[in-house]
A and B are shown apart, each in its own frame.
Chain A
Amino acid sequence: MSGVPAQARVVVIGAGIVGNSMAYHLAQQGWKEIVLIDKGPFPNPGGSTGHASNFIFLTDHSKEMTLFTLDSVRQYKELGVFTQSGGVEVARTAERMDELKRRMASSKAWGIDAELASPAEVKRLVPFINEKIILGGFSTPGIGTVDSLRGGTLMREKAQAMGAVTVVASTEVTAIDVENGRVRRVRTDKGDIETETVVITSGIWSPRLARMAGASIPLSPAVDQMISVGPVPLFADTVGEIKYPIIRDMDTNGYERQHGGDLEVGSYDHRPILWEPDDIPSIGQSKLSPTELPFTKEDFDESLEHALELIPDILGDPRVGIRHAINGLLSLTPDGLPLLGETPEVKGLWSVAAIWIKEAPGIARCVAEWMASGVPEIDPSGSDIARFYDHQKTRAHIRARTAEGFNKTYGIVHPREQWESNRRVRLSPFYEREKALGAVFFETAGWERPNWYASNKPLLEEYGERVMPRRYEWDARWWSPIINAEHLAMRDRVGMVDLSAFAVFDIAGSCALDYMQKMCVVQVNLPVGRVIYTSLLNTSGGIKADLTVMRLGTNHFRVVTGGADGMRDRKWFSDHLPEDGAVQITDLTSSWATIGVWGPRARDLLQSITDADVSNEGFPFGTCRFVDIGPVRALASRISYVGELGWEIYVPFEQGSRLWDAIWDAGQPHRIAPVGIGVYGTTGRLEKCYRAYGNELEQEFNLVETGLARPQVKPQDFIGKEAYLKQRAEPPAVTLCTLTIDDNTSSSGFKRFMMGREPVLSPQGKRLVDRHGRGSYVTSAGSGPSVGKTILMSFLPPEQAKAGTKLAVEYFGEQYPATVAVAGPTPLFDPQNTRVRS
């Protein structure tokens, strides 16, 4: 075929499993004139799909990724390309055995049938395994393999049969033209295609394609080594592709799967071998394919030895030879999650990249829904490509984090684990002061934020057992009892918290009020100087963002949102700006540093350094104004995410240290404590039952379910209003509840402390499932030092969502009794909210 269509509704670039799935799902959404293009031939154009190991393990600790995987399996089954074989993750170490228990908990939370198996039980499932070197396994019967090339072909052909797709093979995209920030056409070596929408499904080549349009898709091609050995005598009589369960040798980062008469052995154990997207060979230059590079034996030798230990009967047989060996290329991202959605740089340019076979069709359905209606069924926020700040799109960051992340592929990754590479990128003006106080820094979106301060160690003595010490290493990892001591000191006296990681946007212009009314759920037409807390919804009433807004002028609003959510929120705001420029958004994140000052003595402290009236009458809760603190003019906002009297104080970045010193010095008579994010993000908010975006707040749950629905709905229109009104009219399928653990003593005598994402079960250990099929799980967990309890939040079905209901929470294979303390948003601590309003 020569030439390409002159125009298209959408051009999908790349026909691996992702591109084919996208073409199909866009056609399902009713889109026509879809062009699916690839520089290679069909059905295997030479990308990572062509050499994938094609097995699907179901359980991931991430809910989002698990939901994508389960949907993908359903689709593969419908296409008839899924072969169920079962799969076992085996443990060689006690620590891994514990991790397998954690995976059991995640399986229960997401509704996957799985069980722990003894070495003898693993041997029964996998007769060729050396069970003597394992401590046990985690067995999932629903695991299997797919023929991803066939699956992709079937989806492509279905889309073609619908008359929706033109397929163009062996045609290279040479440019993507952008005009006024919008995609206009795709240029190829066989002609140009006019289009307003491009979907980059080009796997490891995606960064190159994005760059053609001036956008970034931050991934790195990386090597996954694999070999195929055979002929295996035991497999001689296997009919079809696979009969025995797939093995993941978790502690050595390896896997073994039957493939017909061969056994495939792969590894993520070797040194990270990263490639540059520009260095990948062309099809002609490649010996096998562009993503199947020459095998570097010496990198794999250690993996060979590990595999030989585990599967000696097959791999030790001299008749079984290494018939095929490659350094296969796949895509890695700086945070390990896919890159989905419209790029923030270019309208109409969508990324669907860094995706594994196991999740591709599910993700494609999600993104197609997102493109067509804006409201995907599965919430893709964690994978939204708009999540990255500019510094996270640099080559240095991508290489550092993908190299560090590679060996975590099968790793035991602690929920609070911190990255080690490329740190100290964003430093607040308080950084040196914090360092001097022994701050232990955690990273959020590149910011170094104190999580607690070593200087507060003396508080441990003051509070004794009230700091709820943790003696089990896993629970105490990336944690300190000092967090809880800081918490108590703040509640007793006053604390100061560095909040400079906030993302800050100014929204202004002649139509700013109307615009903000449209964006926000709550009434924003309040007097200048008022501060509101509001959600932003998508059109189906899913929660898109959660933030505060200060009204600084009639048509001037300042939005403050979490650092981790900042770039996604900015895109959401930017996407809805009027085209005529009547409203503008300015990112002031790097202009304003912030300190929160909270606690019973916060007013006394602040009053001692300002002439402004900060009395309750003079500066009521929910208001903001500029105040002079010594020579610094700062914007003070009287709100609190920790449930205490106090202010967020915003200061021009370069004057930050003056503000810090003023507060610190004035705080000494009050015994002020520097307080870390451990309090702000966990203990303080949990005692107050404040919700967090990404934990409780997400697109899959609505405002009624999360307990954030207000008594009144404003008369003005806003995005999601219609859906929200409907949600209010029907009984909620779940209610967000606060639970406490009755007894957190484990069978070994240790007190255990959950961290979130654990399944919430009936006292008999049965899953709780709501009428939409969603299981109950812990959305957030942490200590409540002032209430002396471990606090959890969870969405519970109506029968359970009642104070006093007895339930159980599974953690590392044991079930702990828990009680619903509050159904709905009433705080555990200071339920009347007298402190914040005092």
Chain B
Amino acid sequence: MNILVCIKRVPATAGQITLTPDGQDIDTRYLGFTISPHEECAVEEAVRMIEAHGGITTVLTLGPEAATDQLRDAMALGIERAMLLETDGREWDPVATASAIVQAIEAERAAGRSYDLVLFGNESADSAGYQVGVRVADALDLPCVTGIKAIELADGHATVRRQTESGWETAEVSLPAVLTVKEGLNLPRYPSLPGRLKAKKKEIGRIKPQWQGGGLEKIRLKLPVQAEHTVEILGTNGDAGAQLVEVFQRLRLL
């Protein structure tokens, strides 16, 4: 089995987001970078599938050189290969991103590696376009199911489930396919020390896709008015017990 997981390097966020003075980016000095929880589940799922069924996993991202950090994080968890579609740091819109990923997948196929499953997070943690996975599936003419919270593999097809307001939807999809998954799909593991050290030494495949201006252009970021949080101290130590019970009752937790 060949599985490709696509991830995106995004700023880790805190309670209070600060923008750079030009309004173009989130100020990341204190935050560091990560991938979205959806993508963490995608990585975990790919590793589990290979553990269960054998095969090879590949992780791919489109981003600057620094995004190799996120690729190595994924490899530390058990992903075997990594590919960086290296950009010069400019932001690519969903059309352009999908197109670059499609080209990379086609290049891989030409080189003899075709994917049975391409996994995405349901949406990225920063721009939340909900588009890249769907666009890639469309361009490759593959079936696509979004919002997945459970996957079962059987011969040549996958049974997938997603949660809706009224319950669970189950679909069966033939492979190869594109799936966009959501947090809750699984409980991602932590990287082990040997995993991290092994990932550090691994080669990362690099492609420099041609810059394409998409249809979407970022003018600037603006912070929404942040709600004032108020904290009510109910009491300290044991004194708070009675009040706490009252609050729980009000919230119908008790």
Identify the A interface with B (CB < 8 A): 1, 41, 229, 279, 281-287, 293-295, 297, 301, 304-305, 307-308, 315-323
Contact = CB atoms under 8 A, between A and B. Distances in A.
B192 A322 contact: yes
Contact of A286 (B14, B69, B190, B194): B14
Interface in B132-166: none
A285 B192 contact: no
B224 interface: no
Contacts of A319: 192
Given A1-B233, A295-B32, A308-B194, 4 more contacts: A283-B15, A287-B30, A287-B32, A320-B193
Contacts of A307: 193
Nearest to A324: B190
A285 B13 CA distance: 8
Nearest to B12: A287
Interface of B: 12-16, 18, 29-33, 69, 72, 189-197, 200, 231, 233
A308 B197 CA distance: 10
15 contacts: A229-B193, A281-B29, A283-B15, A284-B15, A284-B16, A294-B30, A294-B31, A297-B72, A301-B196, A305-B197, A316-B194, A318-B194, A318-B195, A320-B193, A321-B191
A715 to B, nearest CB: 59
Contact of B16 (A285, A297, A317, A323): A285
Which applies to chain A's interface (DSSP): helix, strand, loop or mixed? loop
B253 to A, nearest CB: 23
A816 B193 CA distance: 47
Contacts of A285: 14-16, 18, 30
A296 to B, nearest CB: 8
A279 B13 contact: no
Contact of B193 (A286, A287, A295, A304): A304
A1 B231 CA distance: 10
Contacts of B200: 301
B193 A322 contact: yes
Contacts of B69: 297
Contacts of A323: 190
Given A286-B14, A297-B69, A301-B200, A315 B29 contact: no
A265 to B, nearest CB: 9
Given A279-B29, A286-B30, A294 B12 contact: yes
A828 to B, nearest CB: 59
Contacts of A315: 193
Nearest to B33: A294
Nearest to A319: B192
Contacts of B72: 297
Residue picked from B32, B72, B231, most chain A C-beta under 10 Å = B32
Contact of B190 (A1, A287, A322): A322
Residue picked from A1, A229, A308, A322, most chain B C-beta under 10 Å = A322
A485 B99 CA distance: 81
A293 B30 contact: yes
A322 B196 contact: yes
A320 B192 contact: yes
B18 A304 contact: no
A308 B193 CA distance: 8
A287 B14 contact: yes
A368 to B, nearest CB: 25
Contact of B197 (A229, A301, A320): A301
Q: Which 7 A-B pairs rank lowest in CB-CB distance, beginning with the nearest?
A: A321-B190, A294-B32, A284-B16, A281-B30, A287-B14, A318-B192, A315-B193
A297 B189 CA distance: 18
A342 B197 CA distance: 48
Contacts of B14: 281, 284-287
Nearest to A296: B32
Residue picked from B16, B30, B191, B194, most chain A C-beta under 10 Å = B30
Residue picked from B13, B33, B190, B197, most chain A C-beta under 10 Å = B190
Contacts of A316: 193-194
A80 to B, nearest CB: 16
A287 B31 contact: yes
B38 to A, nearest CB: 19
Nearest to B13: A287
Contacts of A305: 197
A316 B193 CA distance: 6
Contacts of A1: 233
Given A285-B16, A321-B189, A304 B29 contact: no
A283 B200 CA distance: 32
A776 B251 CA distance: 66
B95 to A, nearest CB: 31
B12 to A, nearest CB: 5
Contacts of A229: 190, 192-193
A743 to B, nearest CB: 51
A116 B135 CA distance: 67
